[in-house]
Amino acid sequence: MKIGIFTDTYNPVTSGVVTSINMIEQEMKKRGHQVYVFTTSKSIQPNENQTLYMLNSIPLLIAKQYKNRVATFYSREIAKQIKELNLDIVHTQSEFSLGAFGKIISRKYDIPFIHTYHTMWEDYVHYITPIKGRNIYLKRLVRKFSRRFLRKAECVITPSNKTAKYLKYKCNVKNKPIYVIPTGIDIKPFSKSNFTLEEKNKLKESLGIKPEEKVILFLGRVATEKSIDVIMNVMPSIFNEYPNCKFLIVGDGPSKKDLQEQAKELNIQDKVIFTGKIPYNDVPKYYNLGDVFVNASLTETQGLTFIEAMAAGIPVVAKYAPNLSEYIKNGKNGILVKKNAEFKNYILKLFNDEKMANSLVSNGYQTAKEYSIEQFGDKLEMLYTEIIKLHNLKKEAQTKEEKNKQKKTIYKRIGEKLLYITRIKK
């Protein structure tokens, strides 16, 4: 199978979208398929086995602190190369420049096109219009844009039920199959057994953390929508009751300076550590430092960092959100708080209650195994195969009624197979 991935965001950018694409490449190639990535210039190939095609691009001026780029919507040269590749399926990962290019290629060469809707863009319109009263019009535009982009897709993949419901009920995406396929991760690199106590203490020392100090960990993009300020506000009371700990913020982003200023205003700057951006391959090491993983974000579509924390054997304390409750069961494999003040109570409880912490860690690891890269690969491989089959059957169909019958049959079969794969892998 020849798979074309079209994305505006790729390595070396660190994000959930890039992680998902890396997982697709890794797993599909392991299964003997060929994967080609079409993305913006200035991207990089992490290894020699990847096949990368880059369109000319310029920096995106909106939210430029993320260093995202936007490409030309068409490249005649790359289009010719794609024709020679004879792709079996186009899988777009962005609704913008490369997403548009993928749609054009699909139509031009009669290749089935599917789309993964990663990001609920209306949660990010504050980067364009900081005035809340005007955001409503921009949100409506975003929903309309999303609906129109998906019109010609054979099907849509979302990482969570939350995103699927958003497309159905807010964006009014009708008569289009939407399948929930959470991104899988390779959980092996996150295991605590990969790191010695000496390595852990050496990294702690480099960050100014004493070996005996507990670490409250946030790892991810340091941005407004992550609500790190909510966590920061409860830190003074935690430090007062349990001074032998630090708040470690791993990652970079546009809110870093504001958070550093907030730490100074709260007079806790000596207890809060910012690492800045770290290489993706080093991420498991930093998870290994955490005694509690915290996140107050309400905008996650899946929240890969929660799964990674569970794989790393760290108890999770998060702000309640419907999509998180799909896999974080309060009190069993993690803690979901509804009030911000509860962060303090549960963090301190986990520091002092080893039995509770160990129970959350054990159950959390079992949850992480359910989101393995193998299950992710099984589901995608099956979906690609069925969509290609549907595309060929539609070309052979004599009437519209026959086409609709084929669609209905295969869409139903995909849904059934996704449920079956989920059950047998548990």
Determine the pLDDT at residue 136.
Answer: 80
As given in the structure block, the two tokens for residue 247 are 């708040």
Helices 342-352, 354-370: crossing angle, 10 deg rounding? 100
3-state SS record for 162-210: HHHHHHHHHCCCCCCCEEECCCCECCHHHCHHHCCHHHHHHHHHHHCCC
Determine the pLDDT at residue 63.
Answer: 56
Q: Which positions of the chain have pLDDT values less than 70?
A: 46-50, 61-67, 125-134, 425-426
Determine the pLDDT at residue 50.
Answer: 62
Q: Which residue, 417, 416, 407, is CA-closest to 175?
A: 407
Judging by DSSP bridges, how do beta strands 113-116 and 89-92 pair with one another?
Answer: parallel
| Three-state secondary structure call for residue 90 | strand
Q: How many Cα atoms occupy the beta-carbon half-sphere of 45 within 13 Å?
A: 12
No. of helices (H) and no. of strands (E), the chain: 14, 15
As given in the structure block, the two tokens for residue 359 are 């129970």
pLDDT in tens, 291-331: 999 999 988 877 899 999 999 999 999 999 888 888 999 99
Determine the pLDDT at residue 197.
Answer: 95
pTM of this structure? 0.84
How far, in Å, CA of 167 to CA of 156, rounded? Answer: 10
As given in the structure block, the two tokens for residue 125 are 């319109």
How many angstroms separate the Cα of 391 from the Cα of each of 20, 32, 102, 349? 25, 22, 16, 55
Determine the pLDDT at residue 192.
Answer: 92
- Nearby residues of 141 by Cβ (< 8 Å), 6 or more positions away: none
The residue type at 260: Q
pLDDT in tens, 228-248: 999 999 999 999 999 999 999
As given in the structure block, the two tokens for residue 312 are 């790393």
**Residues 93/116, Cβ–Cβ less than 8 Å:** yes
How many angstroms separate the Cα of 306 from the Cα of each of 49, 188, 303, 359? 29, 15, 6, 16
Q: What is the DSSP letter of 338?
A: S
How far, in Å, CA of 30 to CA of 269, rounded? Answer: 46
**Residues 194/313, Cβ–Cβ less than 8 Å:** no
